[in-house]
Structure 1
């Protein structure tokens, strides 16, 4: 089945908005092939990427991860 970026416009917008909320410490992306939102931690702590089917669920996962991550030096 063919796919185009226009079909996922809402998800890309949601990922962009979530990126603005979580800031530079995280990289947020929409994965069209996986149909999931992804959060990649950019800090010194190595951790597996977070993934969720919705942007609010990814935000919750990021919030939970932030509870045990050390404070950002900036």
Structure 2
């Protein structure tokens, strides 16, 4: 999961996992202090070529990627 933190102007990266009938576990992995959406788009493109995990976005409601103009997050999730 990648969470947008507009107050601190950072992107926070978490690894979420959940087994059947157990609670969600969220492990913070990294904080990206370089707050640039175009750079995040480039980083994610490279990352998706290396790993095959689902990436969930929080805090990007209504925002679009600068290069591809695709919508990042359609509607708010309960965590927002």
Q: Which has the higher contact order (CA 8 A, sep 6+)?
A: 2
Q: Structure 1 length as normaliser, TM-score?
A: 0.37
Q: Structure 2 length as normaliser, TM-score?
A: 0.35
Structure 1 or 2: larger strand share? 2
